[in-house]
Structure formats: C-alpha cells, structure tokens
C-alpha cells in the first residue's frame, strides 16, 4: 500500500485528502516514516524549506499543493525537484491521478496550468541567441541544440523533423541525447532547463 504524508502548516488532514488516501498522515514538519509520496501543503511557500524537504527524501516524489496555484510558483517548484503542483482543494479522484502520475516517474501540473506554462515558456523562447538561455546548451551539438529548441517551442517530433529537414527517427535520437546531457526527463523539464530563471517564491502561493 502506498504511503502518503501531507506536510501542512496547520497540521490538519483535509477531508478530501483523507478521502483520497484513507491511511494518509499529516505533519507540520518533515520527518518520521519515509513516505511513498510527500504532499507539501505548507503556506506560504518557502523555497528553502521545500528544497530541504525534497533533499531529505531522495527518490520520493514531492507534490506541492497550493490554495491559489500560480504559474511562476509551479515552474519554480518543479525546477527545485518537485514532481507535481496542483490545487490543495483538488477532488479526491484528481489527487489519486496525481499520485499515479508522479509515482510512475511523471510530472503533474494539470491540463490548464500545463498549457499555460508551456505556452508562456514557448513565447519567451525567442531563439538560440536569447540572453537567458541556460548555458547547459553548450553541452549539446549544434543539431541537438536545434532539435531541443524546436521541441521547447512546442513542436512535435514530426514538425521538428520537417523544419530541420531530418527524419523523425533522427529527431528522437537527438532529443534523447539532449535530455541526457541536460539531465531532464521530459519536454516540460526541457523548457524549464532552457528558460527557467530563479525567482523568490517566499510568499503565499
């Protein structure tokens, strides 16, 4: 049985959390038995506390819960190592979906927030000469870099292949190499790696 621990400033297990995970426990501070999923519901959101909590449970997916989800906070939480970010008042069935996603190595932002994050990041990704592009791109070959930038802008493998005049198979190969060199696991993390600029989120989420 999957063990769920909620870290809440109030130390109270909300009814919807209990409904989703009947055996869940709640704490005001990290610690105790190692969970399978750690749900971070402390507000205001503090980046140092979140980073410390994530580091304390290596391999355990951490999901940040916010009463008022904010796009910038979501990007920052994922960049710090959280595997998910969603509304603290999500339905029990939604929380269960989040748990399934993160325990299988995925990221969760929810369809609407995911779309907004990808759209905003894509709009700001102006090209290879953008001043705030992550220096990690220097690790990539010119072709890997081109593929990574196309995908980060929202292109499918087929679209990237057409624009770069290469095969989809070649796109997949370059993209896989780029993922490995940049230390990312999916397209959202790729966008964050290319465009993320640290911000202070020590305020109410």
**Class for domain 135-195, per CATH?**
mainly alpha
| Topology match between the domains 4-126 and 135-195 | no
pLDDT category at 17 given cuts 50, 70, 90 is very high
Can you tell me the distance from the alpha carbon of 69 to that of 151, in angstroms, rounded to the nearest whole number? 26
Share of the chain above pLDDT 70, in %: 80
Give per-residue pLDDT as tens, 54-73.
999 999 999 999 998 887 78
Can you tell me the distance from the alpha carbon of 106 to that of 155, in angstroms, rounded to the nearest whole number? 20
Assessment of whether the complete model's pTM goes beyond 0.95 = no
Give per-residue pLDDT as tens, 80-104.
889 999 999 999 999 999 999 888 8
- CATH code of the region 4-126: 3.40.50.2300
- Give the residue extent of every domain in the chain: 4-126, 135-195
Give CA separation, 125 vs 60, 113, 149, 172, in Å.
Answer: 31, 18, 8, 21
């Amino acid at each position: 049985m999957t063990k769920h621990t909620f870290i809440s400033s109030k130390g109270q297990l909300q009814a919807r959390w209990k409904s989703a995970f009947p055996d869940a426990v709640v704490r005001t501070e990290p610690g105790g038995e190692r969970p399978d999923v750690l749900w971070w519901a402390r507000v205001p959101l503090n980046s140092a506390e979140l980073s410390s909590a994530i580091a304390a449970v290596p391999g355990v997916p951490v999901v940040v819960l916010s009463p008022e989800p904010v796009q910038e906070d979501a990007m920052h939480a994922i960049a710090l190592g959280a595997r998910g970010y969603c509304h603290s008042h999500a339905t029990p069935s939604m929380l269960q979906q989040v748990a399934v996603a993160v325990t299988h190595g995925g990221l969760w932002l929810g369809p609407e927030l995911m779309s907004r994050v990808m759209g905003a990041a894509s709009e700001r990704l102006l090209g290879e000469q953008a001043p705030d592009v992550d220096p990690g791109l220097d690790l990539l070959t010119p072709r890997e870099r081109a593929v990574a930038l196309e995908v980060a802008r929202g292109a499918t493998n087929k679209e990237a292949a057409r624009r770069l005049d290469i095969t989809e198979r070649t796109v997949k190969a370059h993209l896989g190499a780029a993922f490995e060199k940049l230390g990312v696991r999916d397209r959202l993390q790729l966008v964050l790696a290319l465009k993320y600029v640290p911000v202070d989120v020590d305020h109410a989420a």
